[in-house]
Amino acid sequence: MKTRPDGRKFDELRPISAKAGIVKNADGSAMFKIGDTIAYAAVYGPRELYPKFLQDPTKGILRCRYNMMPFSGAGERVKPGPSRRSTEISMVTEKALLPVLNLEDFPNAVVDVFIDLPQTDAGTRCAGICAASIALADAGLWMREMVSSVSVGKVNEDILVDLTYEEESAEGEVADIPVAYLPKSGRVSLLQMDGEISKDELVKALELGRQASLQIYEVQKQTLLDKYRGESNEE
């Protein structure tokens, strides 16, 4: 049987570790590490939103900022500040998280999510969404369920889960598909694709991703339980 460059099986995730409550000044925060990709998410709010014209009197708004740190990549320094790419990823992160939130109780307010990546090896938006999901729960916000995200793809006939940068940039026919699943309801809140894939292969890839997302969900759950363990004896 063929294996991948790092010896994983096709449907195997990279090693994951996560921790909640790492940013003391934030209302909620989390670190999510998958392989060599590390994402930190900090949630502030709900808090008052200024400038005032951004306020929505019918509901609170969610603002995400995705940021790769300058030294995070493997090669060239990443130019700091927003770019076309990071602006887009911020937007899709926001749209991946919004379906589970209910901000109607917070008119005119904002929930800020800051995602920073000190080290990257592909799958950054997925790691960012996983971290943000833990951080939002840690911040005590109303959430329908968690969001678990993973990338799937095709590298030269092989359908893979959780691609590394090496696989993503391989020669030949490559498709990279980041997906965010709502693990409980089985819905999908983010689906993007780079490259080409046939319909049958896509369906197969998404099914592998769904299985993987359940493993990620378990990690997210344990992470939150670890932070609050012991508090259950509350009288």
Q: Is 51 in the site for other proteins (CB under 8 A)?
A: no
Question: Which of residues 157 and 234 has its CB atom nearest to other proteins in the complex?
Answer: 234
Question: Which of residues 200 and 235 has its CB atom nearest to other proteins in the complex?
Answer: 235
CB of residue 195 to other proteins, shortest distance in Å: 32
Q: Is 46 in the site for other proteins (CB under 8 A)?
A: yes
- Of the candidates 203, 171, 168, 200, the residue with the CA atom closest to the CA atom of residue 188: 203
**What torsion do the CA atoms of 22, 217, 185, 117 make, to the nearest 10 degrees?**
50
Contact between 54 and 164 (Cβ < 8 Å): no
Whether cis (ω within 30° of 0) applies to the bond prior to 46 is yes
Distance CA 87, CA 66 (A): 7
Q: Is 233 in the site for other proteins (CB under 8 A)?
A: yes
Q: Is 221 in the site for other proteins (CB under 8 A)?
A: yes
CB of residue 75 to other proteins, shortest distance in Å: 38
DSSP state of 107: T
Phi, psi of 89 (to 5 degrees): -65, -35
Question: Which of residues 107 and 118 has its CB atom nearest to other proteins in the complex?
Answer: 107
Contact between 76 and 4 (Cβ < 8 Å): no
Distance CA 133, CA 142 (A): 12
Question: Which of residues 35 and 45 has its CB atom nearest to other proteins in the complex?
Answer: 45
Question: Which of residues 67 and 220 has its CB atom nearest to other proteins in the complex?
Answer: 220
CB of residue 132 to other proteins, shortest distance in Å: 13
Task: Decide the pairing of beta strands 174-182 and 194-195.
Answer: antiparallel
Q: Is 25 in the site for other proteins (CB under 8 A)?
A: no
Distance CA 89, CA 115 (A): 11
CB of residue 233 to other proteins, shortest distance in Å: 5
Phi, psi of 179 (to 5 degrees): -130, 140
Stretch near other proteins under the rule CB under 8 A, chosen from 1-9, 42-50, 152-160, 192-200? 42-50
Distance CA 134, CA 129 (A): 9
Distance CA 105, CA 58 (A): 9
Stretch near other proteins under the rule CB under 8 A, chosen from 5-13, 39-47, 156-164, 193-201? 39-47
Q: Figure out which of the listed residues 7, 51, 57, 172 binds other proteins, where binding follows CB under 8 A.
A: 57
Question: Which of residues 138 and 167 has its CB atom nearest to other proteins in the complex?
Answer: 138
Rule CB under 8 A: which of 108-167 touch other proteins? 108-109, 137-146
Binding site for other proteins (CB under 8 A): 27-28, 45-48, 57, 100, 102, 105-109, 137-146, 182-184, 220-221, 224-225, 228-235
